[in-house]
Amino acid sequence: MGPVVLPLALLWSLVGAPAVPAQAPRPGGAPPDPIEHSRALSLRPLPALPSAAPPAERVVSERRLRLPETGQEVVIPAHTERRLSDTQVLVPPLAGFPTGGGPGVVHFPGGQRPPADLRQGP
């Protein structure tokens, strides 16, 4: 039995033992635990995401306003406005409908204006 073990040991040393990944020992001399490694990876903080860009278009809900020249209250229907910059939006041509059944439709030209929550008019 002795003569068989020596050739096997020699063959084993020539072929090489199976590669074992090198693992850094933990404090206290114990080898690292795969469960603890997985836990540590899952608990590390995620990288911060960049802030989202503001939407290109915004829906403005129906508004009521009083016309200074006539004192008439008109309803401006809901519409979309396209963002041009932080302080300017592109407003489409709008039609205002009198609330008290007054004379016809009041037309407002479109163009660049401040955002709806910052302006007094349509």
Give the span between the Cα atoms of 75 and 22, in whole angstroms.
Answer: 75
C-alpha distances in Å from residue 62, one per residue of 19, 39, 46, 47, 118: 72, 52, 42, 41, 15
State residue 81's pLDDT score: 94
Q: Position 1: which residue type?
A: M
User: Among 4-8, 47-51, 54-58, 106-110, which stretch is predicted with the lowest mean pLDDT?
Assistant: 4-8
| Model pTM above 0.85 | no
pLDDT tens readout for residues 69-114: 878 889 999 999 999 998 999 999 999 998 877 678 888 999 999 9
State residue 100's pLDDT score: 76
6-33: average pLDDT:
56
Looking at the chain, which runs of residues are DSSP E strands? 57-60, 63-66, 73-76, 79-83, 89-91, 94-98, 106-108, 111-113
Name the 3-class secondary structure at 80.
strand
Name the 3-class secondary structure at 52.
coil
Closest by Cα among 101, 115, 1 to 60: 115
Domain map (residue ranges) of the chain: 57-118
Helix (H) and strand (E) counts in the chain:
2, 8
